[in-house]
Amino acid sequence: MKPVNRKLLRTMALTAFLALPVPSMAQSYPVKPVRIIVPAAPGGGLDVTARIFSARLSDTWGQQAVVENRAGANFIVGTETVAKSAPDGYTLLFTSHAALTINPVTYARLPYSVQDLAPITIVYVTPSALLVNAALPIKSVQDLIAQLRANPGKFNHGSNSASTILASELLKSIAKVEFQDINYKGGVLAAAATAAGEIQFCIVDMGSATAPVKAGRVRLLAVTTPQRSKLSPDVPTVAEQGVPGYAYTGMTAMLAPARTPPEIIARANAAMKRVLSEPETSAKIESVGGEVLASSPEETGRILREELERWEKLVKERGLKFQ
């Protein structure tokens, strides 16, 4: 009987072990806590929905999804943080679309590019409201357009961000009307000024519109989304009231640093879609004015690219200068 070659046996055992299928890092993602960067201050709408969403992601993943606020400079600070983070799936961005579709056309220089981020999903969309002062004899968008055409440059619109300036410029462009933009520090202040009669109308988020509409001090003429919102199905859109092609939609998306492995993006997207399909999660997001979307990474990228191209075209056509 030949003696046992122990060295050969050890080599064979090691070879067999290495040949066993080993789950990749992507297949087991996440194996540690995930930072969710919110580029806005605590307590605002973006922060609130991020915490609702992240709590359920923690349960789904079995790992903590930790919300970290990095506010400053219209989402730039937090967005840059993620854009320059390691592309390993453990630092994600929960942001308004403005960081990717508005900032690039309103800032001459940004410390990040949209190519520095990889889309995962659009979490929800938010319709905005077109409001007019309730004392005016304006009951529809058609009435408003007629008044604007009869009084060119004499009506004042309350803007509250670069986004709403672009929304008002889009209305001017499509409807062929002119009016003045008066800037306010927030949608609540623009809605309050409309209610007080300081200005005639404004486009604000639905959350800012709620109180003055309920008080009867402003009239809700339309939502700005391409189709009627499921949150306000009885309210017509601007487009269906004589301004075809008009659409302005707020969106909140989750993104990762560019070069994050596609397998990690796919696993993150699957988990997020699962969370967003839960009636309880959807109801909580709807309670703060969001309408759940849950898109694929490819669809998310397409939507954001199209929005950016649309605003770039408008800025060029209108000769707009923001700085």
Residues 184-229: pLDDT tens digits? Answer: 999 999 999 999 999 999 999 998 999 999 999 999 999 999 999 9
Q: What is the DSSP letter of 110?
A: -
Helix, strand, coil % in the chain, rounded to nearest 5: 45, 20, 35
From CA 256, how far away is CA 130, in angstroms rounded? 33
Averaged confidence pLDDT in the chain: 92
Claim to verify: residue 94 and residue 196 sit in the same structural domain: no
Claim to verify: residue 134 and residue 117 sit in the same structural domain: no
The residues near 4 (Cβ < 8 Å, ≥ 6 apart) are: none
Claim to verify: residue 163 and residue 217 sit in the same structural domain: yes
Tally the domains of the chain: 2
**Residue 16, domain member (yes or no):** no
Question: What does the block give as tokens for 103?
Answer: 């900032």
Claim to verify: residue 73 and residue 116 sit in the same structural domain: yes
Claim to verify: residue 233 and residue 143 sit in the same structural domain: yes
Domain boundary among 222, 241, 260: 241
Claim to verify: residue 115 and residue 254 sit in the same structural domain: yes
Q: Please state whether beta strands 201-205 and 156-159 pair in parallel, antiparallel, or not at all (unpaired).
A: parallel
User: What's the pLDDT score for residue 322?
Assistant: 87
The residues near 137 (Cβ < 8 Å, ≥ 6 apart) are: 143
**Residue 280, domain member (yes or no):** yes
From CA 320, how far away is CA 323, in angstroms rounded? 10
User: What's the pLDDT score for residue 265?
Assistant: 98
Neighbours of 4 (CB within 10 A): 8
**Residue 24, domain member (yes or no):** no
Domain boundary among 217, 241, 265: 241
Element at 104 (helix H, strand E)? helix 103-106
Claim to verify: residue 55 and residue 78 sit in the same structural domain: yes
Q: Write the CATH number for 152.
A: 3.40.190.10
- Which structural domain, as residue segments, surrounds residue 198? 127-241
Pick out the chain residues at pLDDT < 70. 1-26, 323
User: What's the pLDDT score for residue 21?
Assistant: 46
The residues near 163 (Cβ < 8 Å, ≥ 6 apart) are: 98, 102, 248, 250
Q: Write the CATH number for 57.
A: 3.40.190.150
Claim to verify: residue 191 and residue 254 sit in the same structural domain: no
